[in-house]
């Protein structure tokens, strides 16, 4: 009987406690200059056709080179190859994604 009374008292008191304040968390987009090129390359790797996004390639390359010259050069070369050989676009995109993968090593 005492167990039921305790259970009832705890259940009743739970409704009397002040509600927790909910906070809204704002998620900001990444400032990673590689995020846009990776998104394009992932679509190519899935087999999507090259489209009007090619007009944005110079800006993508410039943004990446500003942060990482080696990856920017790899991106420039890889995107040029994809444009020249659309038949091997998926394979080249997958290779390029590996080169642009995030690295935990400084300077790599």
Q: Output DSSP code: residue 47.
A: T
What's the rounded mean pLDDT across residues 14-35?
70
Among 98, 99, 82, 101, residue whose Cα is nearest residue 90 = 82
Question: Are the C-beta atoms of residues 60 and 40 closer than 8 Å to each other?
Answer: yes
C-alpha to C-alpha distance for 78 and 48, rounded to whole angstroms: 16
- pTM equals 0.67
Cα 84–Cα 61–Cα 101 angle in degrees, nearest 5 = 90
Which positions ≥6 away from 98 have C-beta within 8 Å? none
What is the per-residue pLDDT across 39-97, written as a single tens digit (0 to 9) for each? 999 999 999 999 999 999 999 999 999 999 999 999 999 999 999 998 899 999 999 99
**Residue 33 backbone dihedrals phi, psi, to 5 degrees:** -70, -15
């Amino acid at each position: 009987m005492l167990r039921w009374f305790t259970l009832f008292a705890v259940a009743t008191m739970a409704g009397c406690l002040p509600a927790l304040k909910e906070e809204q968390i704002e998620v900001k987009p990444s400032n990673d200059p590689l995020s846009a090129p990776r998104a394009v390359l992932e679509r190519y790797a899935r087999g999507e056709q090259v489209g009007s996004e090619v007009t944005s390639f110079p800006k993508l390359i410039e943004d990446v080179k500003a942060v990482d010259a080696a990856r920017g050069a790899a991106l420039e070369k890889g995107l040029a190859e994809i444009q020249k050989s659309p038949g091997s676009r998926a394979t080249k995109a997958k290779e390029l994604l590996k080169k642009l993968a995030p690295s935990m090593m400084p300077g790599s």
